[in-house]
Amino acid sequence: YYPKSSIKFGTVCYSSLTDKQRLFQNLDDALELYYSINQKIAVETKSGVTSVLTCDIVYVEAKGRKVIVHTSTADLDSTQTLQFWIDHLPQATFFQSHRSYIVNMAMVTSFDHELIYLCDGQFTAYLTRRKFTEFKKAYLMFMESKR
The predicted-structure confidence for 92-135, as pLDDT tens digits, reads as follows 899 999 999 999 999 999 999 999 999 999 999 999 999 999 99
Domain ranges of the chain: 4-36, 38-145
Locate the DSSP E strands across the chain. Answer: 40-45, 48-53, 57-63, 66-71, 75-78, 94-98, 101-104, 108-111, 115-118, 123-126
Average pLDDT of the residues in 6-24: 61
The reported pTM is 0.76
What CATH class has 38-145? mainly beta
Q: Which of 94, 107, 126, 93 is nearest to 58 (CA)?
A: 107
Higher pLDDT, 36 or 43: 43
pLDDT of 16: 63
According to DSSP, the residues that pair with 14 across neighbouring strands are: none
